[in-house]
Amino acid sequence: MADASAFAAAFATLYVAHSVGDHWVQTSCQSADKGRPGWVGRLAGARHVATLTTTKLALLLPVAALFGLRLSALGLVLGLGVDAVTHWWADRRSTLAWLARKTGKAEFYGLGTAAHPAHPVTVKGAPAAHLGTGAYALDQSFHHLWLLIAAVLIATV
């Protein structure tokens, strides 16, 4: 059962830390630039992933200590490493858009944008402000999948 409790604690902590790191710690510049082509985008993405991974580690280590979880250094490196690489890949934006096209999710990817045929409009027919897009939902669910894999690695390696 120790592995199951380590997995549960790791996943819950990574999930919360992901939300904090992706929304509170990430800078506006990183968010705006990480999808840009070339080195500007790659480096902005790398800075975001560095602060995101630091946030995850900063929350995971105290939780592990408080609950007496025995996590290996290798498990932490592998889990957080896989999570970091996949997060950077998805946040390049063109990569996730490509995956959405390949999996038949291109229309959903565009949901909530003015480019989508069913975009929200005001009474006057202009694009309306709203919260969330299909691209954001696919981005977050992609990250959640890799958080699960990271937690498995952290708990079992």
Q: Report pLDDT digits (tens) over 78-120.
A: 999 999 999 999 999 999 999 999 999 998 888 877 666 666 7
For residue 101, the tally of other CB atoms under 10 A from its CB is 12
- Please report the beta strands in 81-141, taking only residues with DSSP state E, as ranges in sequence order: none
Tokens 């694009």 sit at which residue?
127
What is residue 105's predicted lDDT score, i.e. its pLDDT? 93
Does residue 30 contact residue 57 with C-beta atoms inside 8 Å?
A: no
Give CA torsion, residues 80, 81, 87, 92, to 10 deg. 160
For residue 138, the tally of other CB atoms under 10 A from its CB is 20
Q: What is the pLDDT of residues 109-145, one digit of tens each?
A: 888 776 666 667 777 877 766 667 888 999 999 999 9
Does residue 37 contact residue 83 with C-beta atoms inside 8 Å?
A: no
What is d(CA 148, CA 140) in angstroms, rounded to the nearest whole number?
Answer: 12
Q: What is the DSSP letter of 93?
A: S
What is residue 34's predicted lDDT score, i.e. its pLDDT? 94
Q: What is the pLDDT of residues 1-49, one digit of tens each?
A: 458 999 999 999 999 999 999 999 999 999 999 999 999 999 999 999 9
pTM, entire model? 0.87
What is residue 134's predicted lDDT score, i.e. its pLDDT? 85
Domain that holds residue 124: 2-156
Q: How many distinct structural domains can be found in the chain?
A: 1
